[in-house]
Amino acid sequence: MRFERIKTPGLAHLSYFLCSEKEAIIVDPRRDIDVYIELAHEQGVEIKYVLETHRQEDFVLGSKVLQEKTGAKIIGGRHNLFSHCDIQLEDGEYFKADEFTFLSLSTPGHTPESHCYGLYLKNQDTCWGIFTGDTLFIGETGRTDLPDINKTGENAKILYQSVNNKILGLGDQALIFPAHGSGSVCGGAIADHDQSTLGYERSSNPVFLESETEFVKRKINERIPRPPYFDLMEKMNLDGGWRMEQDLAHIKALSPEEFKTRSKDSIVIDTRSPESFASGHIEGSYNIWLDGLAVFGGWVCKRDTPVYLVNERNEDVNQALLMLSRLGVGRIKGFLAEGINKWRNQGHALQSSGVLTAQELHSNPAHFDVFDVREVTEYEQGHIQNAKHCYVGHLVHYLKSHKPSSKPIATICSVGHRGGMAASIFLRLGYKNVYNVLGGMKSWEALGYQTMEGTKKEKQGPPKKSIDNAAQWGSTH
């Protein structure tokens, strides 16, 4: 047997490759499937099956593409959202694939179709491992607000029962193989390690330690931002995902003159660091650091939004393409060849913004209108006194009814990346004297400066699932 965990950077997505001497099985594949094909070739086996644990909200599945390339059969549970599957398993049904046996378990709560699979090895009566999807993470469980925010508590109760009544009985020895790790937007406080057993989770995971009432209350208070591209993922994954629609060959390296002309009515995303962006950037561009594209690209782009990139290195366009494609958004039309240096050297205009250190902000906090753009739970745990709060993804919507004062604006997050994105949004909206606090709250706290806890109960973000992405971001695309 060979077993591989494949982690997708940025998304914290985990997929799995499992093979015997004859055939391979892939669990929750991503859209760019080459890694699975290469592993199968290395082992000299055929990919026979693809297991899906649920529809997935945060990335495009690669199930359908794998089926087209390899002839593999797609397996899911007995729910209408798995109707694209070749094999639909009943709750409690066993499925044999060469020397492996899978136990199908219906485990709703995160989403209504969520499914887990217990894996039994050849001639073994005890469960070796469990593919838990987004039902059970390491140290956490999946969020329960996605199907309907008004049923978050109801879904949490269902999830609690799924985990304790279905999964717990598979035994302490069983390894846990979730669909996401730390950093995913599909759960809250997921542990920062990717290996665990059911026995360890039973002694440490809140879903096993809390009463049902306590668990439901905690889930209601979780309040994780819901990216707008989730709606697109729901549609794209109904059929097991779509094939990649763009490749590097169609992305042009543009001279400054060509870039200026072609990007005029499109979105420009600058993937450099917040420090580099602040020192000089193309007016109207978003600052989304390269790794941040894996999530925040879906906040500024719709499926067909034309995108032009400014990168630190020409080769960064490949990573940017993969990250946007995994979200199913954006069409990269070109990138600035040789980056901002060539733009600058040929005399094209640059816009700059300010940066602050924690010491500078602390020495004169009343001089700035401070915007904390972290998630609400981060803000509640400790923030600067009098700082206004709005998650960066909701900032455009928030500013429609919450106008800054005439003071210089200071944006702050944990270390400076989301603050840089927020600063670029303020600049796009025409605000001047915008500063990003480099080092963010991490440096503020490291210096021992005072923080406040709690938050005001005010509506900050857009309606739960109905807001139009283009309207939110002021885009014409």
List, as one string, the DSSP characters of 14-53: EEEEEE-SSEEEEES-BS--HHHHHHHHHHT-EEEEEE-S
* Predicted confidence (pLDDT) per residue in 426-439, tens digit: 999 999 999 999 99
Both tokens assigned to 191: 């542990």
Over range 440-459, report the average pLDDT: 84
With a cut of 60, say whether residue 352 has pLDDT above it: yes
Over range 178-199, report the average pLDDT: 93
Q: Which CATH number fits domain 354-473: 3.40.250.10, 2.60.40.10, 3.30.930.10, 3.30.70.2740?
A: 3.40.250.10
Question: Structural domain boundaries of the chain?
Answer: 2-232, 248-345, 354-473
Average pLDDT, the chain: 92
Q: How many angstroms from the chain centroid is the CA of residue 198?
A: 25
Give me the half-sphere count of Cα atoms (radius 13 Å) on the Cβ side of residue 369: 15
* Predicted confidence (pLDDT) per residue in 205-231, tens digit: 999 999 999 999 999 999 899 999 998
* Predicted confidence (pLDDT) per residue in 112-124, tens digit: 999 999 999 998 9
DSSP 412: E
The pLDDT, as a whole number, for residue 459 is: 41
Distance CA 79, CA 105 (A): 12
Distance CA 426, CA 410 (A): 10
CATH class belonging to 2-232: alpha beta
Amino acid at 109: G
* Predicted confidence (pLDDT) per residue in 317-340, tens digit: 999 999 999 999 999 999 999 999
Domains 248-345 and 354-473 share a fold: yes
Over range 229-242, report the average pLDDT: 88
Q: How confident is the model at residue 9 (pLDDT cuts 50, 70, 90)?
A: confident
Q: How confident is the model at residue 160 (pLDDT cuts 50, 70, 90)?
A: very high
Taking the model in full, what pTM does it have?
0.88
Distance CA 227, CA 461 (A): 11
What share of the chain has pLDDT > 90, as a percent? 86
Please state, in angstroms and as integers, the Cα–Cα distance from residue 96 to each residue in 29, 99, 106, following that order.
Answer: 20, 7, 18
Q: Which CATH number fits domain 248-345: 1.20.140.10, 3.40.50.12710, 2.40.50.100, 3.40.250.10?
A: 3.40.250.10
The pLDDT, as a whole number, for residue 471 is: 34
Over range 186-204, report the average pLDDT: 94
The pLDDT, as a whole number, for residue 456 is: 53
Say if residues 170 and 118 touch (Cβ distance below 8 Å). yes
Nearest to 57 by CA among 184, 246, 204: 184
The pLDDT, as a whole number, for residue 121 is: 96
Distance CA 274, CA 298 (A): 19
Q: How many angstroms from the chain centroid is the CA of residue 269?
A: 18
Give me the half-sphere count of Cα atoms (radius 13 Å) on the Cβ side of residue 158: 21
Over range 260-280, report the average pLDDT: 96
Over range 269-285, report the average pLDDT: 97
Main-chain phi, psi angles of 128, to 5 degrees: -80, -40
